[in-house]
């Protein structure tokens, strides 16, 4: 496999290194952060409290959206 050399500022390197998982190469970090991901990778990312807040916000948004659509539709049948 061909390789390329890149230059990073100290700050960019430190941020990339902080994102690096145990046993992961820097190439793998870049691939993980810039590539497509599976929704299953998001499982467990939120604790139960945060997940509850997200569910409530989604529910409230849906209610507001429906009300807005109904108001704009008016008496259209």
Tens digit of each residue's pLDDT (9 = 90 or more) over 42-54:
888 999 999 999 9
Q: What is the pTM of this model?
A: 0.47
pLDDT at 77 over 60: no
Q: Which of 12, 11, 29 is nearest to 20 (CA)?
A: 29
DSSP single-letter state for residue 42: G
pLDDT of residue 14: 97
Dihedral sign (CA 59, 65, 69, 70): positive
The mean pLDDT value of the chain amounts to 91
How far apart, in whole angstroms, are the C-alpha atoms of residue 24 and residue 3? Answer: 16
* CA within 13 Å, CB half, 64: 6
Contact 20, 29 (CB under 8 A): yes
């Amino acid at each position: 496999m061909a390789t390329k050399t890149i230059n990073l500022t100290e700050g960019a390197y430190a941020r990339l290194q902080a994102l690096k998982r145990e046993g992961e190469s820097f190439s793998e970090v870049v691939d993980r952060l810039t590539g497509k991901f599976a929704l299953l990778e998001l499982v467990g990312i939120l604790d139960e409290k945060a997940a509850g807040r997200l569910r409530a916000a989604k529910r409230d948004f849906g209610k507001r959206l429906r009300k807005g659509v109904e108001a704009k539709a008016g008496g259209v049948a």
